[in-house]
Structure 1
Amino acid sequence: MRQVRILVDEDDRETIVDVLEDKDVDYVISGENATGDSVLIEFPLPTDAVGDVLGSLDEAGYEDTYTVISQVESARTPNAETLMERYAGDFDPLTTRELRSKASDMSNDTKSFLALMLLSAWIATAGLLSDSPAIVVGAMVIAPIVGPALTASVGGVVGDREMLAASIRLQAMGLVAAIAGATALAAVIRWGMFAQPDLALGSIELIGVRTAPTLLALIAGTAAGAAAAFGLTTKGPMSLIGVMIAAALIPTAAATGIAIAWRDPVIAAGTALLLVITLVAINLAGAVVLFGLGYRPDRSLLGGSWRSAKTLLAIALLVSVIGLTGVATAEQISHERTVNQVVHAELTEHENVTAVAVRNEYGDLSALTGPETVTVVASYTGGGDPPSDLAADIEERLDERSDRPASVRVRFQEYQTAQDSNGSSGS
């Protein structure tokens, strides 16, 4: 339920009251203001009725000079049940006023935001290096990145320049702090000999899956941003949706920091590229969902001439980043699809061999022309030794399909299966 308070001119009082009575809204007039020419009208509404009733008041000539919308636990009035039943099956997104307020409430002050980002990055770093999904999930829970991610989308859609600029700045500062914190902690772990200095980072599964942009990672980031924006427009909580936003960003930022500490520029570049494209996908998906739900700017994002120039420069910079990361991601996704097709075609020619996982990584700092390292994890259920020439056959097929040089590695996982009722088995 929401409690709405509006300040109405005495001349418009009768018109506004007529609208409320037509919609069966119970109201009270609490008194006149200091000048004596306006009255304060307050009334409870179901959350999904706020947009409809306020829209009708605006059409009736209500000037939005003083409107307060607050949350209440319950309301018992003559028509409360009628209104609840009337709007129970409707989905009415929060009004622009409520949307901006809810988004602003999710924003932390800069110091606490950076502190929580740093702590979540440390937890994620520990989880990645220990290859512990449970610890990584803990890092996602405390990361506050959902606030600035959503306020950026809201600011862009409703035309709030200050909110948009502050959100973008806060996201950048938070992720830089996360990467720097992860780098510092990973350096202490490495040089303090709490982990092997020559550790192959790509062999750690939780890091290996984040070494390059993939279609699945892009889908996850886009869906997370869309879900967060949709959830923001409802009366529901945002805590669980915020975990999904953090899941798409915090482990990747920590992986970038770990790669920097281990002096692995290839993994550092790949994870950083994944981080940027995921962040862009989250922000754009949120803005698209809000725009699709009908939110529109009440003022232009461009202000005066100097402010317009700065805004246009920022937009051009953003478009350039989106373009470059988009091209690199599209190339990587296309190559990933080709690799999967080649591996599938080759494995179908071998009995008792099936794919468990296929992972392709950048071979140098170039996302467009550099070599690839393709790691194939396969299960083998036949007798004797697994085929020894599988990696060479896959590499030969891949060279025929792609212009990018590839190095293929195959790792077998052997399983025992029951062959017959006499107890014989294969391994």
Structure 2
Amino acid sequence: MRLVRILVDEGDRGEIVDVLEGENVDYVISGENATGDAVLIEFPLPTDAVGEILGRLDEAGYEDTYTVISQVESARTPNAETLMERYAGDFDPLTTRELKSKARDMSNDWRSFLVLMVLAAWIATAGLLSDSPAVVVGSMVIAPIVGPALTAGVGAVTGDREMLAASIRLQAGGLVVAIVGAAAIAAVIRWGMFAQPDLALGSIELIGVRVAPTLFAVVVGLCAGAAAAFGLTTKGPMSLIGVMIAAALIPTAAATGIAIAWRDPVIASGTLVLLVITLVAINLAGVAVLFVLGYRPERSLLKGRPAVGTVLVAALLVSAVALTGVATASQLSHERTVNQVVDAELAERENVTAVAVRSEYGDLSAFTGPETVTVVASYTGNGDPPSHLAADLEDRLDDRTDREVTVRVRFQEYQTAS
């Protein structure tokens, strides 16, 4: 339920009251303002009725000079149950006023935001290096990244340049701080001999799945951003959706920091590209969902002469979107080709099936650089597994792609009962 308070000019009082009575909305007129030419009217509404009723009031001539919408636990009025039943099956997204207010309520001040981002990155670093999914999940719970991720979409679709710019700054600054924090704690762990200095980071499963952009990562980013934006427009809580946003970003940022501390430019570049692609996907999906739900700018983002800083930020955003789009398309196309080649090769061999196929960059280039393909296969036959599978796969990939590819094959042997 929502409690709506509006300040109405005495001359418009009759029209406003007629609308409320026509919709069976119970109201009270609680008093006059200091000048005596306006009255304060308050009335409870089901959450899904707020947008429709306020729209009717606007059509009746209400000037939106003073409107307060607050949440209430319950309301007992003559027509409260009737209204609840009328709107029980409806979905009416929050009004623009409520949407902006809810998005702002989810945002921390920049100091507490950065502190929580560093703490989340430290926890994620410990979880990744210990290969502990439970600890990594804990880092997602405390990460406050969902607030800036959502205010960017809200600022874009409502034309609020200040909100959009502040959100972009917080997202970029928060992830940079998370990477630096992860690198710092990872360096302490490495040089303090709490982990092997020559540890093969790619062999840690929770890091290995984040070494390059994949279709699954893009899908997770898009769906997380879409779910967060849709959830923001409803009366439901956002805590679990916030965990999903953090799940797409915080472990990857920590993996980048770990790779920097271990001086591994291959994994650092791969995880960084994945992080940027996921961040862009989350923001674009959020804006798209809000736009589809009918939110439109109250004023143009480009109204007036944009400041130099605004132009530079816009140019950087366009460049980031273009770069990540090309990198994603290139990597996903290559990933599809690799899967096709592995499937064709293993189809010709008995007792061998693929368990997992993972690609990772071989240098700082996400487009044309050398690449390592690791194939984990199960073998259920007698005797030794096929010895030339890696070489055969590498030959096929050399024929199908223009990249320099190194193939590694690891077998998992199983016994099958007769």
By the TM > 0.5 criterion, same fold? yes
Distance, in Å, in 1 between the alignment partners of 2:14 and 2:146 is 44
Q: Which deviations, in whole Å up to 9, do the C-alpha atoms of 1:281-315 show, x marking residues without a partner?
A: 101100000010000110111244252x4323321
* Matching residue of 2:378: 379
* Matching residue of 2:362: 363
Matched, 1:259 2:259: yes
With the length of structure 1 as denominator, give the TM-score of the two structures: 0.97
Matched, 1:287 2:287: yes
1:21-36 equivalences under 5 Å are: 21-36=21-36
Q: Where in structure 1 do 4 or more consecutive aligned residues deviate above 6 Å?
A: none
* Matching residue of 2:399: 400
* Matching residue of 2:345: 346
In structure 2, list runs of 5 or more residues that go unmatched: none
Q: Aligned in 2, Cα 1:299/1:306: closer, same or farther, shift over 3 Å?
A: closer
The residue type paired with residue 36 of structure 2 is G
The residue type paired with residue 203 of structure 1 is S
The residue type paired with residue 116 of structure 1 is L
Distance, in Å, in 2 between the alignment partners of 1:109 and 1:354 is 52
With the length of structure 2 as denominator, give the TM-score of the two structures: 0.99
The residue type paired with residue 292 of structure 1 is V
Distance, in Å, in 1 between the alignment partners of 2:120 and 2:263 is 22
* Matching residue of 1:113: 113
SS at match of 1:305: coil
Residue 228 of structure 1 contacts residue 241 of structure 1 at CA under 8 Å; is this kept in 2?
yes
Displacement of 1:200 in angstroms is 0.7
* Matching residue of 2:73: 73
Displacement of 1:362 in angstroms is 0.5
Distance, in Å, in 2 between the alignment partners of 1:58 and 1:273 is 47
Distance, in Å, in 1 between the alignment partners of 2:160 and 2:285 is 18
The residue type paired with residue 372 of structure 1 is E
1:268-283 equivalences under 5 Å are: 268-283=268-283
* Matching residue of 1:323: 322
The residue type paired with residue 275 of structure 1 is L
Displacement of 1:245 in angstroms is 0.1
In structure 1, list runs of 5 or more residues that go unmatched: 420-427
SS at match of 2:183: helix
Matched, 1:414 2:383: no
CA RMSD of aligned residues (A): 0.8
* Matching residue of 1:16: 16
SS at match of 1:418: coil
SS at match of 1:343: helix
Distance, in Å, in 1 between the alignment partners of 2:310 and 2:197 is 45
Identity of aligned residues (%): 83
How many residues are treated as equivalent by the alignment? 418
Distance, in Å, in 2 between the alignment partners of 1:263 and 1:65 is 58
1:210-249 equivalences under 5 Å are: 210-249=210-249
1:183-222 equivalences under 5 Å are: 183-222=183-222
SS at match of 2:311: helix
